[in-house]
Structure 1
Amino acid sequence: MFKNIYFGDLVQGDTEELIQIMNPEEESKIKEDDIPDELGILPIRNTVLFPGVVIPITVGREKSVKLVKKAYKGNRIIGVVAQKNGSTEDPSLKDIYKVGTVAKIIKMLSQPDGNITIIIQGKTRFEVDEILAEDPFITAKVKLLKSVFPPKKNKEGKALMQSLKDSAAKILKLNPEIPQEAQMALDNIHDLGFLTHFLASNLNADVPNKQKLLETNDGFERATLLLELMLKEIQLLELKYDIQKKVHTDIDQQQRDYYLRQQIKVMQDELGNEGPDREVEELRRKGLKKKWSDEVHQHFNKELDKILRMNPQAAEYPVAMNYAELLLELPWEEFTEDNFDLKRARKILDKDHFGMEKVKERIIEYLAVLKLKNDMKGPILCLYGPPGVGKTSLGRSIAKALKRNYVRMSLGGVHDEAEIRGHRKTYVGALPGKIIQNIKKAKSSNPVFILDEIDKVNSNFRGDPASALLEVLDPEQNHEFKDNYLELDYDLSKVLFIATANSLDTIHPALRDRMEIIEITGYTLEEKSEIAKKHLIPKQKKEHGLKADDLKFQKSGITKLIDGYTRESGVRNLERKIGAVVRNAAKSLAMDQEFSKSITDKEVVEILGAEIFDKELYQGNDVAGVVTGLAWTQVGGEILFIESSLSKGKGKLTLSGQLGDVMKESAMAAISYLRANAEHYLIDYRVFDHYDLHVHVPAGAVPKDGPSAGITMLTSLASIYTQRKIKSKLAMTGEITLRGKVLPVGGIKEKILAARRAGIKEIILSARNRRDIDEIDTKYIKGLKINYVQDVDEVLEIALLKEKVKKPMQFTFPEKVNIVN
């Protein structure tokens, strides 16, 4: 406000003379009759001229200069209008407002740059009636406008005038940049009309708002609108004043704190007490003892220098201290010495884990390569298998064999990339990633690092943590691993990473490509028995306070626990059940009650109650269409029965037993093959159209799927259509094609063991599964006859007997009726 008040050398005389010029009585010197109907129009930018107000204007545009010079030589009367935009070019007619102010040029001065400065005073308002010419300057026919103000003695007018003066005084007080002469000018104004024009001219408002004031004919309404704009400006100035005061107070407080801290520092030095500086110097001394590169050392000292310049009370101080302490605690260039005695390593693996010969052999090969190469740039091992088979504990055994430190990081549920790479220090609560945190915890740069449950990593809107692991697990990249919090490259190439997973399907494809998959299929019943004897039972006795002689498990009791109460690939549930039996004995021992110290199958049933699971047993071959198949599940191998039956109908097919898509396709392929080769197998082709076929796999509540029931389905259908018996105590597994070829399947070891437990004596397999049998210990296949086949003819020749079942089904077909025209 008051930014347009002119107090300068352009007017000769003192302030009182200028105020005299601004006096509204000056307006009477120019009568309306002295104002011509036609005026030269001077457009002005960024301001509005009001009647009675004196302002300086610099004129530079060619048309404006011509107008001013001509008017100054004449009556000095011009019409002043505001531009709608701030362009320096000559405005068009549409760019100027129609309402302006008649002005008199009081003084004109020529500037050295060719521009002209004029001091003008507004006289009265006018409205452009008609444009007469645009060259050499705008000439218009104008109509003078009258303002209506209340009489001087009017109470409302007096109140409004006083409110305007009070508001102006408040603005003067809040804005120290306004000269003090402005208050003198306000005190000498006694007319509401001129006060309104004077304040409106100097109001800190944009051109549209000022033009609105100029165009308002009702003086009372104009003054009221002006008061509203002034009150808004007062609010802004008060807010600005509060902000400046607050900032000034903060600066004063900081200066005060600085002086106090300096005094405290001097007193602490005198007393010998430790302060922040001593703490930093202690960190610096520790840093001198670290084995790290020059780059890290320089970065560490630079961070300490930053801390010394900080206020210990500042929020950034503890963040900077934590960062410096992390740099100090990380094991830069600190390694444990490896023990590459592979015979010792094999003994440790054999002691800690029973079975898993292939897995142990691969681990020993891996360690042998490390010994010869002395380099970690090799494949990352990924132990893949069902829960409870000992994947994580294998990693711990490897660490023990190598005499390396062991750390484990669970990736289950990790969904934020920052959990791997860390947060940037600028974030509140920033932390390094879990990789760096665990390296710090390991206290060496070459630990055995278990990445547990790598298949459980989740991706969402926060980022892709699986992709962040790509750098960690790539031997070509992880020597310069970049953690966002650490901001320095950390060498992970000496870390022995071992991942574990329950499923391969959910692992990121690029991540899976960086790892060597070692499958742990699970334990057989015999292996579980040995694990229970050597590991689980001694462990549970120790945990429950029993001595070795207090309780003994017989073979029948262990077998009952495995077969009747657990159904899993691993041994977690088996350990829980053993714990339940041991707790029962511990309770009896603590209460001085009698109990059986020898645990057989009977004692297991008495303690744990009825069996939870029933195992399938071979059920004979008296009925046509019932064949024994072999299946793999996540809890080991099982036998299953496929049953077929025929009934008169129209050739409808029904499949039941919660079969998956693959097993349904196997059934369809078997039917199509038999239809195509019905004559070869002595099947009457009419049976396919006049009898409905129902294929069922019992245990309907259990979903079943997988490519291993093809030959079992075909044998069942061939038996039901020919009514021939199936060979006794025979089981089979394999897939078929429409050409009659038998394809290999997986899970052979588990299936063979399931067949033995069920009392099977003979098995049919694809010839290409011979390699799987060769890898199984001979003690597991002792007493089993295994037939290797390549096509369906061989399967049916082995499986189907010449004789038919008792009470074979007699097929009858409707006679054909010949219609004679």
Structure 2
Amino acid sequence: MNKQIKHVPMLALRGITVFPGMAIHFDVGRSKSLKAIEEAMAKDEMLLVVAQKDASVDEPEQEDLYEIGTLVHIKQVANLKESAVRVLVKGEQRAKIISLENEPFMYASIEVMTEEEQPADMEQEAMLRTIGELFEKYAAMSARISEEMVQGILSINNMVEIVDIIIANMTLEVEKKQEILGCFDIKDRMYQVIKILDAEIQILTVQKNIYAKVKKSIDQSQKEYFLREQIKVIQEELGEKDGVLEDIASYEKKLEALNLPEEVRLKMQKEIRRLNKVSSASPESGTIRTYIDTVLDLPWGIKTNENIDLKQAHIILEREHYGLTKIKERVLEYLAVKKMSHQVETPILCLVGPPGVGKTSIARSIAQAIGRNYVRISLGGIRDESEIRGHRRTYVGAIPGRFVYGLTQAKSMNPLILLDEVDKMMGDFRGDPAAALLEVLDSNQNSNFRDNYLEVPLDLSESMFIATANSLASIPKPLLDRMEIIDINSYTGNEKLYISKKHLMPKQLKRHELTTKNLKMNETSLNYIIEHYTKEAGVRSLERMLAKVCRRAVKEMIERDVKSIRITPNKLNEYLGIPRYLYEKKNEEPEIGVVRGLAWTSVGGDTLSIEVNTMPGKGQLQLTGKMGDVMQESAKAALSYIRSKAKTLQIREDFYNTCDIHIHIPEGAVPKDGPSAGITMATAIISALTEKPVKADIAMTGEITIRGRVLAIGGLKEKLIAAKRANINHIIIPKPNERNIKEIEENILENLNIIYASTMDEVLQYVFA
């Protein structure tokens, strides 16, 4: 190795060590360094670069610099902004600083170490191969050195240059690189490089293992974080902003606040623990959530205080409904007993009557009168037993029964529950809902009612049940036995008039923004609507007609620009069209074979003219007028009675062989049936056979036996109303129905002559003119 003394400008580098054969560029901004570059460019473009021991020193002295540096050749200088230049240099030779001048720029006297190329001996060759293998391994483990660069470096023929370039391209501290730069013996230098390469490879191996573990952990964490973020977004889209843990905390908090029975509390704690274990992505998680929400939403331990003020209850019932005396009395009786003793069982009332008479609305008024929350459960058309008991949770789409939903809706455990249309339930292969309802309505069982979905006991014993039905015929006997039946009869004309004046008309006037000054309607007009445009037991059609009158009146007031209209029967014909119903009045004169009968229909009472003709023939009995089986049997029973009494009635005893009898009821398109036309048919046949006319102002109702006994009938109030509407004042009814007369209002019985008959002989005493 040759040594040569030179005097050259010098640069102090921060954190950079330059090796011979290495090309590198760096930025220069210090004024002294810029001057040193200018001096070097002015001479031979040679420059000494030396690394600083402390990169933070701005004005380094000789003790702040490493002793060994590199003599470089300046290849390019490019100006940068803000008084800085970028310099490209290539390392030429190692150099040792002998002395240093610091003004006006750094100028050093150096001893240049010139290394002559010599053929490598066997040891050096082995070391060189070792270095090459280690460097390939190092480069493979380091992402900063490409395979092309490795092959380029290892292809260099100069052993000294290979070693310097390898160490220059490694990521090492400045101190380690300076150790290699200051090692002038090539063998020692190669040995140091081998040690460094081996140490770095071991460090990279450990680092790689650590990185793999960390990456695995980070990947798992990132995956979990990503999934949690996805769940959070999905929950926000679904409106479930809180996660599972928040939901569980909410459930536990709500569970502590509720006054639950011990069995229910243990069940809920178990379900909450299950929810915590089940994955939120599992379908079972949603099922458990739904179940917990359903149970916790029930009003456990919440009850409303009953109002035991009889006077106030009476005022509310009278204000909301006209008539309905029986049910009002029953409610007041219940409140009176309840006030005396809190141990009384809550009644199960069943309101039976035609549509539109106020069965549903009276239940709401009762709830208001006694201070209970009100909930309506519609049972019409239910076929599935699970609608009452709920579905088993094992089934997909399982839901609780209607009573669970009813309590949730009522928000108390002692509401008034209206079982609407209880007669419309039907049983099929899915079970019998009426049988399931037995447990609900049984006071000895419903204190521990178990819904199949809830699987916990539910106390229904303090709920008050009111059922409604149009007919008792389709209600099973066991279910009927648990209920107290209260009949709600049809409204009379006077009752409809009162209801329309006090309730319906004010309601429609308010709805159409009218007053009694804008729309003037007297009782005559209201009666005209009731008699000629409605034919029902209730008042629904009446309310629709009043609404139609209001609409037409509003339209006419706007078109004619008037402020008020008086409603007269002629105006009603204009608004509502021609009268829909014309009730048949009594016969003008007594007629042979024509008798007026009284019938009950779903929309109230009506009168029927039963006509009989006799003709020569062979004794055939012909029945027309859409008669039902019961009515046909009544006709045959009447004929048997007449045949047995032919001699007494002064009828030819062989009439059943010599003449045909034709019984007809007009309005043949309307089906007719019922056990109350027997005496009417018998009277009409006797009149036709004896040719005796029947009184024009008499009507009758009653069933007949083949021995002539007259049996009791139903719907007496409606039948009397129908007779009065037809201006018939003399009415024959069965003797057993005499007790029912006491329950009928005086205004209906006014001017009526009620004739009681136990046998057909008594009937015949009054009928013939």
2-structure distance, mates of 1:275, 1:623: 87
C-alpha offsets along residues 496-537 of structure 1, whole Å, 9 cap, x if unaligned?
111111222222332222222212122112111111111111
Aligned equivalent of 1:651 = 619
1:260 aligns with 2:224: yes
1:295 aligns with 2:263: yes
Aligned equivalent of 1:787 = 755
1:405 aligns with 2:373: yes
1:577 aligns with 2:545: yes
**What TM-score do you get using the length of structure 1 for normalisation?**
0.63
Contact 1:382 1:515 in 2 (8 A): yes
Higher Rg of the two aligned structures? 2
Deviation at 1:798, TM superposition (A): 1.2
C-alpha offsets along residues 471-504 of structure 1, whole Å, 9 cap, x if unaligned?
1111111111111221211111111111111222
2-structure distance, mates of 1:477, 1:257: 56
C-alpha offsets along residues 264-290 of structure 1, whole Å, 9 cap, x if unaligned?
69xx9xxxx964323322322232221
Aligned equivalent of 1:311 = 279
Deviation at 1:309, TM superposition (A): 2.4
1:343 to 311, 317, 325: 311
Contact 1:344 1:401 in 2 (8 A): yes
Change (3 A) 1:275 1:258: farther
- Tell me, what secondary structure is at the counterpart of 1:731? strand
Change (3 A) 1:584 1:683: same
1:768 to 703, 711, 736: 736
- Tell me, what secondary structure is at the counterpart of 1:449? strand
Change (3 A) 1:661 1:428: closer
C-alpha offsets along residues 340-372 of structure 1, whole Å, 9 cap, x if unaligned?
112222221111111121222223223333333
1-structure distance, mates of 2:360, 2:511: 21
Aligned equivalent of 2:335 = 367
2:462 to 480, 494, 502: 494
Contact 2:585 2:726 in 1 (8 A): yes
Change (3 A) 1:321 1:589: same
- Tell me, what secondary structure is at the counterpart of 1:549? coil
1:615 aligns with 2:583: yes
Aligned equivalent of 1:427 = 395
2:411 to 443, 449, 452: 443
Deviation at 1:599, TM superposition (A): 2.0
1:673 to 619, 624, 641: 641
2-structure distance, mates of 1:489, 1:309: 26
Superposed, 1:680-699 pairs within 5 Å as 680-699=648-667
Deviation at 1:684, TM superposition (A): 3.2
Deviation at 1:263, TM superposition (A): 11
Contact 2:375 2:417 in 1 (8 A): yes
Deviation at 1:261, TM superposition (A): 6.4
Change (3 A) 1:263 1:642: closer
2-structure distance, mates of 1:544, 1:327: 45
Contact 1:626 1:716 in 2 (8 A): yes
1-structure distance, mates of 2:260, 2:670: 60
Aligned equivalent of 2:492 = 524
Aligned equivalent of 1:739 = 707
Contact 2:384 2:433 in 1 (8 A): yes
Deviation at 1:444, TM superposition (A): 0.6
Aligned equivalent of 2:438 = 470
2-structure distance, mates of 1:547, 1:263: 66
1:749 aligns with 2:713: no
Aligned equivalent of 2:252 = 284
Superposed, 1:319-330 pairs within 5 Å as 319-330=287-298
Tell me the amino acid that sits aligned with residue 442 of structure 2.
Answer: D
Superposed, 1:543-558 pairs within 5 Å as 543-558=511-526
Contact 1:376 1:494 in 2 (8 A): no
Change (3 A) 1:307 1:399: same
Superposed, 1:45-194 pairs within 5 Å as none
Q: Pick which of 731-740 and 414-423 moved more.
A: 414-423
- Tell me, what secondary structure is at the counterpart of 1:462? coil
1:396 to 364, 384, 396: 364
Q: Which runs of 5+ in 1 are unaligned?
A: 1-251, 802-821
1:588 to 552, 556, 563: 556
Aligned equivalent of 1:606 = 574
Aligned equivalent of 1:508 = 476
Deviation at 1:576, TM superposition (A): 1.0
Deviation at 1:686, TM superposition (A): 4.5
Tell me the amino acid that sits aligned with residue 554 of structure 2.
Answer: A
Aligned equivalent of 2:323 = 355
Deviation at 1:687, TM superposition (A): 4.2
2:421 to 453, 462, 483: 453
**What TM-score do you get using the length of structure 2 for normalisation?**
0.67
- Tell me, what secondary structure is at the counterpart of 2:596? strand
- Tell me, what secondary structure is at the counterpart of 1:692? strand
Change (3 A) 1:668 1:424: closer
1-structure distance, mates of 2:646, 2:715: 32
1:702 to 648, 660, 670: 670
Contact 1:553 1:598 in 2 (8 A): yes
Tell me the amino acid that sits aligned with residue 260 of structure 1.
Answer: E
Contact 2:346 2:462 in 1 (8 A): no
Deviation at 1:582, TM superposition (A): 0.9
Tell me the amino acid that sits aligned with residue 531 of structure 1.
Answer: I
Contact 2:347 2:464 in 1 (8 A): no
Tell me the amino acid that sits aligned with residue 689 of structure 1.
Answer: N
Q: Which runs of 5+ in 2 are unaligned?
A: 1-215, 233-240
Deviation at 1:596, TM superposition (A): 6.1
Contact 2:591 2:696 in 1 (8 A): no
Aligned equivalent of 2:504 = 536
C-alpha offsets along residues 717-763 of structure 1, whole Å, 9 cap, x if unaligned?
22222222322411111122222222221111111111111011211
Change (3 A) 1:728 1:325: closer
Contact 2:346 2:463 in 1 (8 A): no
Deviation at 1:673, TM superposition (A): 2.1
Structure 1 vs Structure 2: percent identity of aligned residues?
A: 47
Change (3 A) 1:734 1:582: same
Tell me the amino acid that sits aligned with residue 418 of structure 1.
Answer: S
1-structure distance, mates of 2:335, 2:590: 56
How many residues align? The count is: 543
Contact 1:375 1:494 in 2 (8 A): no
2-structure distance, mates of 1:721, 1:686: 12
Deviation at 1:560, TM superposition (A): 2.0
2-structure distance, mates of 1:452, 1:550: 39
1-structure distance, mates of 2:227, 2:532: 79
C-alpha offsets along residues 545-569 of structure 1, whole Å, 9 cap, x if unaligned?
2234321322222222222222111
Contact 1:636 1:750 in 2 (8 A): yes
Change (3 A) 1:278 1:502: same
Tell me the amino acid that sits aligned with residue 404 of structure 2.
Answer: I
1:382 to 336, 347, 350: 350
1-structure distance, mates of 2:226, 2:617: 104
Contact 1:524 1:753 in 2 (8 A): yes
Aligned equivalent of 2:64 = none
C-alpha offsets along residues 165-213 of structure 1, whole Å, 9 cap, x if unaligned?
xxxxxxxxxxxxxxxxxxxxxxxxxxxxxxxxxxxxxxxxxxxxxxxxx
Tell me the amino acid that sits aligned with residue 609 of structure 2.
Answer: F
Change (3 A) 1:713 1:458: closer
- Tell me, what secondary structure is at the counterpart of 2:673? coil
Change (3 A) 1:294 1:773: same
Change (3 A) 1:276 1:376: farther
Change (3 A) 1:289 1:770: same
Contact 1:523 1:569 in 2 (8 A): yes
